[in-house]
Amino acid sequence: MERKNPANLFVCDCITKALFKLMKKKEYHNIKISELVNTAGVSRNSFYRNYQSTEEILREYLVLKTTEWWSNFMRHPEKYSHVISEMFQHFLNMKEEIDLIYQAGLSYLLMEHIFHFSKESLNGEIQNVYKTAFLSGGLWGLINEWVLRGMKETPDEMEQFFLNQTQDLNNT
């Protein structure tokens, strides 16, 4: 859901920050809406006016952060010669939040997110649809394994892994 009202944006930001704060302290599935809104300093109505679930908060957070990153990237593409390493850097910048999402058993939210953003760039030709699905799956696999291993490799190293795998596929 796209939000434009500054007061509404503020409320959503408070709710998102409160959710991550609570996720640091306790298991995600034990967080109650009443506890979330109390921590956020907003009313229960504010929560339900903006969200249907806590998962929706996390989905929206991922979309917001990726949209910000992509907008910056597209404004100055000359500054970034390697879109894949920049994408890994983007996820590395969200390491704490992504770790919390994984600890909550919600890694599928990141997978859905990657596939969603990959599909947005399609032009509808069947060849592009399958190619994008294939590359998104490979990218998801790399990102997932990287997160599970603690994001120890640099974004440049991860880009090289990705490029090596796509080259290997082209050579077979």
Q: What whole-number distance in Å separates Cα of residue 141 and Cα of residue 150?
A: 14
Measured CA angle at 126 (ends 123, 132), to 5 deg: 70
Return the pLDDT at 38. 98
Q: Using 50, 70 and 90 to split pLDDT, how confident is the model at 6?
A: confident
Residue 77 DSSP label: G
- Confidence band (pLDDT; 50, 70, 90) for 1? low
pLDDT recorded at residue 52: 95
Closest to 87 (Cα-Cα) out of 164, 153, 155, 140: 155
What is the structure's pLDDT at 133?
A: 83
**27 half-sphere exposure, CB direction, 13 A CA radius:** 3
Has residue 156 got a pLDDT over 70?
Answer: yes
> Does residue 159 come out as left (phi exceeding 0), alpha (psi in the -120 to 50 range) or beta?
alpha
Q: What is the pLDDT of residue 171?
A: 66
Say how far residue 53 (Cα) sits from the centre of its chain: 17
Who wins on pLDDT, 96 or 85? Answer: 96
Average the pLDDT over 145-149 and give the result: 97
Q: How close are the terminal C-alpha atoms of the chain, in Å?
A: 43
Q: What is the pLDDT of residues 102-118, one digit of tens each?
A: 999 999 999 999 988 77
Please say whether the beta carbons of 153 and 141 come within 8 A: no
Instruction: Work out the pLDDT band at 73, boundaries 50, 70, 90.
Output: confident
Interval 109-129 mean pLDDT: 77
* 3-class DSSP state of 51: coil
CA–CA distance, 126 with 27 (Å, rounded to integer): 42
Rg, the chain, Cα only: 18
Residue percentage of the chain with pLDDT more than 70: 88
User: Tens digits of per-residue pLDDT, 12-69?
Assistant: 999 999 999 999 999 999 999 999 999 999 999 999 999 999 999 999 999 999 988 8
